[in-house]
Amino acid sequence: MNDDKKMQVLHLLHENSRLSVETMATMLGVTSEEVKQAMTELEQSGIIKRYSAVIDWDKVESTKKVSAIIHVNVTPQREVGFDAIAERIYRFPEVRSVSLMSGTYDLEILLDGEDIREIARFVAEKLSTIEHVISTATHFLLKTYKADGVIFDDHERDRRLVVAP
């Protein structure tokens, strides 16, 4: 399969990872075998990490989970730069994402917790105490409007007439 088709497989899966191999093959004008092969390659080369769902947790009644974005300034270390510190942080399972940033801070962390105190505890006990961490700034998420390309409460409906020339 050529690179353009592979890109299209990625886009289709990113949009809806439950599409069947057969449907994707039809949509792209290739065989099912080719799609399977491409997916295997993309998985094995680590391009596809996993297949997951986009969830609006605010709509889940039973959870009171909170999330925070934390900006962290660190002193990079000789030889390993930011990577070793990032790893010490991302190994915690409650850390959903860690990115190295350009600009006024170094690492951006997205952290999930059962409540505000749990997040406060993590910052105070785990994050701030890591050697080379200079400062942290914690921002709690209040509402998610759009995540990973999906608008959560989209009020735009199909307003077309049922039949039109």
Partner 1 sequence: MRANPSSVPHPTNPREGRLSPLVENLPPSGIRRFFDVAAQMDDIISLGVGEPDFVTPWRVREACVYALERGYTSYTSNHGLPELRQAIALYLDAWFAISYDWQTELMVTVGGSEAIDLALRAIIRPGDEVLVPEPTYVSYRPCVVLSGATPVPIPTKPENEFRLTADDILAHVTPNTRAIILCFPNNPTGAVMDRQDLEAIADIAIRQDMLVISDEIYAELTYGAKHVSIASLPGMRDRTIVISGMSKAFAMTGWRIGYVAAPADILAGMVKIHQYTIMCAPIMGQMAALEALKNGHSDKDHMVNTYNQRRRLIVKGLNEIGLSCHEPRGAFYAFPDVRKTGLSSEEFSERLLREAHVAVVPGNAFGEAGEGFVRCSYATATDKIEEALERMRRFVASL
Query: Which residues of the shown chain bind partner 1 in the complex (CB under 8 A)?
Result: 8, 12, 23, 26-29, 156, 158-165
Question: Who's near 56: CB < 8 A, 6+ residues apart?
Answer: 144, 152
Question: Can you tell me the distance from the alpha carbon of 71 to that of 99, in angstroms, rounded to the nearest whole number?
Answer: 10
- Distance in Å, CB of 23 to partner 1, minimum: 7
Query: Residue 80 or residue 150: which is nearer to partner 1 going by CB?
Result: 150
- Distance in Å, CB of 45 to partner 1, minimum: 24
Query: Residue 28 or residue 89: which is nearer to partner 1 going by CB?
Result: 28
Question: Can you tell me the distance from the alpha carbon of 90 to that of 113, in angstroms, rounded to the nearest whole number?
Answer: 15
Question: Who's near 21: CB < 8 A, 6+ residues apart?
Answer: 32, 35, 36, 39
- Distance in Å, CB of 6 to partner 1, minimum: 14
- Distance in Å, CB of 11 to partner 1, minimum: 9
Query: Residue 26 or residue 77: which is nearer to partner 1 going by CB?
Result: 26
Bridge partners, 70 (sequence order): 109, 138
Query: Residue 1 or residue 100: which is nearer to partner 1 going by CB?
Result: 1
Query: Residue 27 or residue 130: which is nearer to partner 1 going by CB?
Result: 27
What residue type is 81 in one-letter code? G
Three-class SS of residue 40? helix
- Distance in Å, CB of 26 to partner 1, minimum: 5
Cα dihedral value 109, 114, 116, 120, nearest 10: -60
Question: Considering just the CA atoms, what is the radius of gyration of the chain in Å?
Answer: 21
